[in-house]
Chains A and B, each alone.
Chain A
Amino acid sequence: MILFYWIALMIVSFSFAGLLFRLVKGPTVADRVVALDAIGVTLVSIVALLSLIIETEFFLEVILLMSILSFIGTAAFAKFLERGEIFDRDPR
């Protein structure tokens, strides 16, 4: 069972490397934001698999925190791309 977890962690880490490739190469800013969003989600699954491997439940709080931070970062990036600023008082 532990071998299965290790193999799963390896495959997820390889997909993480592929997302890093898109983050570095991406032609536009939106490509990089998409890659960052996917990297946050993949990092969540890496933490879950790591907590399965070293058999501790203390990492599970990290999962909720990182999913929330990833969503907030993506929303802020999207708004910055669309309007050029994050905090504005202009109701549109």
Chain B
Amino acid sequence: MRNSWREGRFSIEILVDILIILLIGTGVLFSAVTALGLIRLPDVYTRTHAASKSSTLGVLSILLGTFVHFWFNEGIFNTQMVIAIAFLFITQPVAGHLIGRAAYMTGIKVAEETVRDDMGPAIEKRKNNQQEELENE
């Protein structure tokens, strides 16, 4: 072990392994937090928040760990992984936003603990504006 440290051959492998363990550990932690949030939180909107934010970071970390493993340990630079990481990073929050908006439009009530609701007045205002435009025409 000590000889290999001096040669500098094993040390980079150990550093890469530590990096992979940190990345995959973060990802697994955030995946577990996602499941906990989806089970425990009270209504759709808070569940959307838990699912989109923490699962994005979780899967991003796991994919980065896999990418680093295949790059440094196997010598494979997989470009599809890079595309998948960028794609998930862009689309996952958008998907969460879409579901939350659709849920509000279909009239699902917010939880009782909710302090304020900005979406309802905004929709009312937009409807009134549209009616005024129709009347002016």
- Seen from chain A, the residues whose Cβ lies within 8 Å of a Cβ on chain B are 1, 4-5, 8, 11-12, 14-19, 21-22, 28-31, 33-35, 37-38, 41-42, 44-45, 48-49, 51-52, 55, 57, 60-61, 63-64, 67-68, 70-71, 74-75, 77-79, 81-82
Give Cα A44 to B28, complex, Å: 12
Which of B4-12, B31-39, B117-125 lies at the binding interface? B31-39
Q: Are A79 and B102 in contact (CB under 8 A)?
A: yes
Decide if B19 is an interface residue (CB 8 Å cutoff): no
Q: Which of B43-83 contact A (CB under 8 A)?
A: 44, 47-48, 51-52, 55-56, 58-59, 62-63, 65-66, 69-70, 74, 76, 78, 80-81, 83
Residue of chain A at shortest CB distance from B84: A64
24 A-B pairs (CB sep. < 8 Å): A4-B24, A8-B24, A12-B28, A12-B31, A18-B38, A34-B44, A34-B47, A35-B38, A37-B52, A38-B34, A41-B56, A41-B92, A44-B59, A45-B31, A45-B59, A48-B65, A52-B69, A55-B74, A60-B78, A71-B95, A77-B99, A78-B95, A78-B98, A82-B105
Given B21, B66, B80, which contacts A4 in the complex, CB threshold below 8 Å? Answer: B21
Contacts of B31 in A (CB 8 A): 11-12, 15, 42, 45
Q: Are A34 and B24 in contact (CB under 8 A)?
A: no
Most buried by B among A12, A38, A48, A74: A38
The interface size bin for chain B is 35 or more
Given B28, B44, B69, B87, which contacts A67 in the complex, CB threshold below 8 Å? Answer: B87
Q: Are B70 and A74 in contact (CB under 8 A)?
A: no
Contacts of B69 in A (CB 8 A): 52
Given A11, A28, A41, A68, which contacts B32 in the complex, CB threshold below 8 Å? Answer: A11
